[in-house]
Chain A
């Protein structure tokens, strides 16, 4: 079946001449790209710092209006604290998804809206993902969420907040970064939401909603549990 298709594909491929691939050139390209990524990261940080400084200067030390402290956003995950056993942690207000419908961490390609999870290892669909990192790359690419190991105890001076149905803490680091801290079965996690200058409020809200949707469930993973969350659009990927 389809032998002529196979033959034509083979003939087409035969028109390709041997490539002149220089290893050193590939290394140079890779190095340049790594440097560019680092520069971009530094630039984003610098712009964020500059925006904060400019914002502070605009108000001015003599400004009669007191500068409001960076409030915890109204969309901060405010899952109702639930006096539950740790494995039944989701608050009543956080809808649960049947376990079989929960995927692993979003892949590096486009991921459809639905329930995903973090267990430190497992990717959705395939092996290709960067666990703990995702951004709305199929949207503006301006919003990033990361999950990383955190300090072993509740950081001081942070605002109490409920995270993944557990008592945790929240900190507005600057205009473009906020962090939630939570301890799950003895493992402290920091969930970070990072945006850029000019990010649409809708996208910031979407990022916060993802964090607000988090809950844990017992699973036979290396940790013995996983952190489930809901992506409401197909904009998110981990590449």
Chain B
């Protein structure tokens, strides 16, 4: 009874890259429990697709792509229990005092963004992917990525105040 092709690469991925994948998943959903659910979902989907994956050496990319598309798909099919909300933590008041942007605050505000904007920001600024790579992973056009990032950063800037230096890069500015 042999295991399907790619099983050893898969187990290696789970063992050695599981943590890194979960970190990305967390930023994509903004909740630890949901992040675990998302990663598990992506891994199970990958496992099912394993016999059809041509290039096993790129299995991690496949899992990441599955995570991104799963999280977008969950929301687009309106079956996901977390929704973007306008009820966000108060933005810091710019009273001249030094307001330090904290990561819990950023996560809270990220969670308030529509999923595509959040995903684009995470892929661009956490994964450090190019606009083209982000577009490929999100299954959308380069222009759409630029627009998502630009709008998402503008919203974060508006909500977090001047404590964070949020400016679109040259690439995003082209379409903003």
Contact = CB atoms under 8 A, between A and B. Distances in A.
> Do A and B truly interact?
yes
Interface string A1-41: 11111101111111110110101001101100110000000
Contacts of A158: none
B26 A13 contact: yes
Contacts of A136: none
25 contacts: A1-B169, A2-B125, A2-B167, A5-B125, A5-B156, A5-B164, A8-B102, A13-B24, A13-B26, A13-B126, A15-B26, A15-B32, A16-B19, A16-B22, A18-B19, A19-B18, A19-B19, A19-B22, A21-B14, A23-B10, A23-B14, A27-B47, A107-B139, A109-B139, A110-B76
A103 to B, nearest CB: 12
Contacts of B43: 21, 26
Contact of A8 (B103, B128, B136): B103
Contacts of A3: 165
A67 to B, nearest CB: 39
Contact of B44 (A8, A29, A125): A29
B101 interface: yes
A126 interface: yes
B57 interface: no
B159 to A, nearest CB: 13
Among A10, A26, A239, find the residue whose CB has the most chain B CB atoms closer than 10 A: A26
Interface in A152-188: none
B165 A16 contact: no
Nearest to B163: A4
B139 A5 contact: no
B73 A29 contact: no
Contacts of A4: 101, 164-165
Contacts of B125: 2, 5-6, 9
A120 B119 CA distance: 31
A30 B103 contact: no
A194 interface: no
B126 A33 contact: no
B100 to A, nearest CB: 10
Contacts of A19: 18-19, 22, 36, 39
Chain B, interface residues (CB within 8 Å), range: 35 or more
Nearest to A129: B139
A5 B27 contact: no
Interface string B125-154: 110100000001001100000000000010
A11 B48 CA distance: 33
A29 B45 CA distance: 10
Nearest to A30: B47
- Chain B binding surface SS class: helix
Given A12-B27, A16-B19, A29-B44, A128 B166 contact: no
Contacts of A110: 76
B113 interface: no
A26 B48 contact: no
A108 interface: yes
B120 interface: no
A226 B139 CA distance: 23
Interface centre among B65, B103, B153 (most CB of A within 10 A): B103
Interface in A114-139: 125-126, 128, 137-138
Interface string B8-20: 0011001000110
B106 interface: yes
A21 B169 CA distance: 37
B106 A9 contact: yes
B122 interface: yes
Nearest to B39: A19
B107 interface: yes
Nearest to A5: B125
Q: Which of A13, A15, A23, A107 has the most CB of B within 10 A?
A: A13
